[in-house]
Amino acid sequence: MTDSSHTSHENVPSRQRRRFAGISSRAYEHPADRSALVALRKLSGFDTVFKALSGLLPERSLRLLFLSDSVRVSDAQFVHLNDMLRDACYILDLEKVPPMYVTQDPKPNAMCIGLDEPIIVVTTGLVELLDEEEMRAVVGHEVGHALSGHAVYRTILLFLTNLALKVAWIPLGNVAIMAIVTALREWFRKSELSADRAGLLVGQDLQASMRGLMKIAGGNHLHEMNVDAFLAQADEYEKGGDLRDSVLKILNVLPRSHPFTTVRAAELKKWSESRDYQRIMDGHYPRRDEDKDTSVTDSFRESASHYADSVRTSKDPLMKLVGDIAGGAGDLGGKLRDKFTGGGSAGKGGATGGSEETRQSGPEDPES
């Protein structure tokens, strides 16, 4: 617990919250995010290579842009945000407080970018939309990105996305770059789930985190929204429709760097109820000084196990079919047809009776 005798906002939270001294980002990282980061950190010379690349990336330009055309958070400007930033760094034990800027943009957004040193940027739309506790979770989210080192890959993703547009006239070159961009986006979507968890560890207020996500989805109309109904949307999204809807879900999410908002809310609530979260809150978590001893193999095994569990427990029609195939289910052709058409209920003795004649004539029907 924090020492309530401290009155300075320089490095002490404004209300009593648990502090996680020496916490490793592995404590809150999504398994798929963690396995990628552990592998990259183990690569000899990885930091040197990316620092060498920094001359090719627009990082210096971005820093100058925000310095010249945005408002830097400090003791003199956006003081309440400065307090939140210091609080978040204190709670997650991030020694160096990253620079933070507020930029004029009506669209609610925030990001953490940079290769050598991360910087945090929040838009005026976000600052005006969220209350103090909701904003605290967002600032914690961005500090979580900084602690994990996500800013490096976010900067590279921005660079490659812009590069893909510039070389679109080179067919194979564009395909190669977009393949990398697509893979980075998939990883980055998982990193957003990690950062949401970091935001919860900083704010330590699940309802504030939920409210913030609802506002990002539906605007400043909390009196018109309900957390349970919002989470029910995520459940309906996951299990609804047939295989056609599953394919559309994949196509919809591919160009995005963030998961859908209802999905983020459901994932965060699920993690908040997990044993892993409770152990962190009880003071039992991986330490930063142990990162060098982390096994890449174990991290990948954990990531693979997570994906296997996701397939096994998913309510999505495509994931259920994958589970059936993995389980050796029979009549895969019929299952595939039913999943794509949303059929199958009538042939199982439902309201229409499911006659033998119907079942026999089905496969011979050209429409089937």
Q: How far apart are CA 87 and CA 65, in angstroms?
A: 26
Q: Is the Cβ–Cβ distance between 148 and 33 less than 8 Å?
A: yes
Pairing of strands 110-113, 71-72: unpaired
Helix (H) / strand (E) element for 112: namely strand 110-113
Mind telling me the catalytic residues? Answer: 142
DSSP secondary structure letter of residue 23: B
Q: Is the Cβ–Cβ distance between 285 and 213 less than 8 Å?
A: no
Q: Which tokens in the block code for residue 296?
A: 């890449």
Q: How far apart are CA 138 and CA 211, in angstroms?
A: 11
| Alpha helices, H only, the chain | 31-42, 46-53, 59-69, 79-91, 124-129, 132-148, 150-166, 171-203, 206-218, 227-239, 243-253, 261-272, 275-281, 296-313, 317-326, 332-341, 356-361
Task: Name beta bridge partners: 72.
Answer: 101
Q: How far apart are CA 319 and CA 297, in angstroms?
A: 25
